[in-house]
Chain A
Amino acid sequence: MEIAADPVTPDRRPAPGGHAGRLPLRRPPGGRWFAGVAAGLAAHLGLPVRVVRLLLVLATLAGGTGLGLYVFLWVTVPTGDPASVAEDERPAALARLAPRLRSGQRTVPVTDIAVGLLLLAGAGLLVAVRNGVDVQLSWVVPTLILLAGTGLVWSQLDRVQRERWLSRAGGRTPVSLVRLVGGIVLVGIGVLLLIGQDEPVGVLVRSGAAALAVLAGAGLVLAPWGLRLVRELGDERAARAREAERADIAAHLHDSVLQTLALIRARADQPAEVARMARAQERELREWLYDDRSEPGTSLAAALRSVVAEVEDGRAVAIDAVVVGDRVPDADTEALLQATREALVNAVVHGRPPVSLYLEVAEDCVEVFVRDRGDGFDLDAVPSDRFGVRESIMGRVRRRGGTATVTSRPERGTEVHLRVPVRHPQRRDAEGWA
């Protein structure tokens, strides 16, 4: 039952050249007295609510146009917070702020007021009858039934939309269906009684059946059209979601890609710098396109990738990283990562490319292999005062109860193997791989 309100809201789009345009016409959930028409109008026109209400009341007193306008807008204008709707209309990337906190839902309990009014009307009626006024029940009762039915159906309008806003489940609950059907039945009976007046019951039933038959026929004819409308609505909504997603990615990526390209063009004479920028940009793009970005501090694989990125950016080399498995990082794996960083730097600086990195997360330990194609070095020949390898790689890992070995063979390159036992096996279901 989503009513497109476009005809009533000609200026939903912000005026070009500034977002200080008019708020769209919506019936806000907060600050309303009855259905939010006055509040919405006030927000839309930029007038105080009080003035709008006064005008409406005056217009109602002067011939009922105010009431007519109110009812018309109630039916045609959808509910929603005008401010947040206006934000939704802006490009997705610009409106990534949390939806504004809604100040208190409707302050006046509409249902209670409606029931109260009905009771008051009933009481007034009774008093009038008691005092001898000739109330024609044949007119009053159908009118009341008609009003009750209409109210029931129209209360549905709000509720269905609210549910859609909240959950997007789109499904109507049985209760709401009962309300709808009940309202329609009441309205039907009211109309029949009103028109039928003094006709015998048989005639009423027959004319009711005839009306139903006509309605059913019309429904049958219009059903395909209605179905198509519903389907198009769904398609449009999906297209909009895609559009928003695309705008989001475009804003985040194209900016940085274009910037990198401009930088590359400017520094075309510095191959090392160009390679470094291209590599960094590639990594960023890749992360955006293919990775499910994980929360910081939840993925050892992601932490390793950032270590690799740091070394790559700092030294302008490419590191071929392969990760198998994943887990939540802890102090042990943190030490392993630090040692891995040192090993990578060592391989990049002293070894020969390509540099390969392999990390495997097993149930009880995490292993890292860092390999380069250099001639390698003899661990025993490394003077003990050279802090690099001995302390920053070996020491870190051994203090955590792990092992660190360096294998170096001429023409076969050098490989650093780090292994750290992990205490709490909490291997995650690793779907991604670096």
Chain B
Amino acid sequence: MSEQGRTAPATGRTGPVDVVLVDDHLMFRTGVRASLDSRVRVVAEADDVPSAIAQVRAHTPPVVLLDVHLPGGDGGGGAEVITACADLLGATRFLALSVSDASEDVVSVIRAGARGYVTKAISGADLSDAVLRVADGDAVFSPRLAGFVLDAFGTAAGDVAIADDELDRLSAREREVMRLIARGYSYREVAAELFISIKTVETHVSAVLRKLQLSSRHELTRWAAARRLL
């Protein structure tokens, strides 16, 4: 996958990162468990909304790997789990995992507070990298998520944010970063391409994630609203 070659972020951590794995398919959970490398340890699994909330509350792991579509609860799936654990968001971070490319799925979990979104086709090493990155508080953007961001925020010249605190538009630099990620560049490659540090790339990506979560931009809210109406 395109995340390949992305170096694991430098951390001061010793030992593996604890993860709660939430997915309603046993086969997929088994596959993920087997493909994750030694830097990640699965401490618990859950297969529906109530058990996911219970497991996350019981373990408060640094990272939760969360399927977008989950049975049970009020039918809100992964987003419902994140909302129910909103008070833990400082200590526990959610990485969404889905086979779906549907934009409303992405929007609902990201806006609920997930720190990233990867598709289930991701390789084990890339997934482990993504988990570590999320554990460090960074955002994880797959090329598809970056493409979605560009689609939602617009690519026309008038869509560039002037001020930094504008929530409804991306800055020119953020857009550049998003375009490179959409083209399949890893964070490291983006940094080399733009002659900036990886840390700066991560800052930009986190800023985009924040805008994705807080923006009231029409396209985003429309998708979110359509989701709730279903």
Residues of chain A at the chain B interface (Cβ within 8 Å): 286, 289-290, 318, 320, 322-325, 354, 356, 358, 360, 362-363, 369, 371, 373, 412, 415, 430-434
Residues of A within 8 A of B155 (CB): 324-325, 360, 362
* Chain B residue nearest in CB terms to A360: B155
CA distance A415 to B156 in the complex (A): 23
Residues of A within 8 A of B2 (CB): 320, 354, 356
Most chain-A CB neighbours within 10 Å: which of B5, B151, B156, B192?
Answer: B151
The residue from B100, B143, B150 contacting A360, defined by CB atoms under 8 A apart:
B150
Residues of A within 8 A of B137 (CB): none
CA distance A324 to B179 in the complex (A): 10
Query: Does the CB pair B183–A430 fall under 8 Å?
Result: no
Asked if B189 lies at the interface with its beta carbon under 8 angstroms from chain A, I say: yes
Query: Does the CB pair B182–A358 fall under 8 Å?
Result: yes
Query: Does the CB pair B183–A356 fall under 8 Å?
Result: yes
CA distance A362 to B179 in the complex (A): 13
Query: Does the CB pair A371–B151 fall under 8 Å?
Result: no
CA distance A431 to B220 in the complex (A): 11
CA distance A324 to B148 in the complex (A): 7
Given A320-B143, A323-B147, A324-B150, also A354-B184 (CB < 8 A): yes
Residues of chain B at the chain A interface (Cβ within 8 Å): 1-2, 4-5, 100-103, 121, 143-144, 146-148, 150-151, 155-157, 179, 182-185, 189, 192
Most chain-B CB neighbours within 10 Å: which of A322, A415, A430?
Answer: A322
Residues of A within 8 A of B192 (CB): 412
Query: Does the CB pair A324–B184 fall under 8 Å?
Result: no
Query: Does the CB pair B151–A325 fall under 8 Å?
Result: yes
Residues of A within 8 A of B100 (CB): 289-290
Residues of B within 8 A of A433 (CB): 101, 103, 144, 147-148, 151
A362-B155, A373-B5, A415-B183 given; name 4 further pairs at CB < 8 Å.
A322-B182, A356-B143, A356-B184, A369-B183
Q: How far is the CB of B7 from chain A (nearest CB, A)?
A: 13
Given A320-B184, A323-B147, A412-B189, also A354-B156 (CB < 8 A): no
Query: Does the CB pair A320–B147 fall under 8 Å?
Result: no
Residues of B within 8 A of A318 (CB): 121
CA distance A415 to B182 in the complex (A): 13
Query: Does the CB pair B103–A434 fall under 8 Å?
Result: no
The residue from B4, B121, B144 contacting A322, defined by CB atoms under 8 A apart:
B144
Residues of B within 8 A of A430 (CB): 151
Query: Does the CB pair B156–A360 fall under 8 Å?
Result: no
Residues of B within 8 A of A371 (CB): 183-185
Residues of A within 8 A of B143 (CB): 320, 322, 356, 358
Q: How far is the CB of A421 from chain B (nearest CB, A)?
A: 15
Q: How far is the CB of A283 from chain B (nearest CB, A)?
A: 11
Residues of A within 8 A of B157 (CB): 363
The residue from A325, A358, A434 contacting B184, defined by CB atoms under 8 A apart:
A358
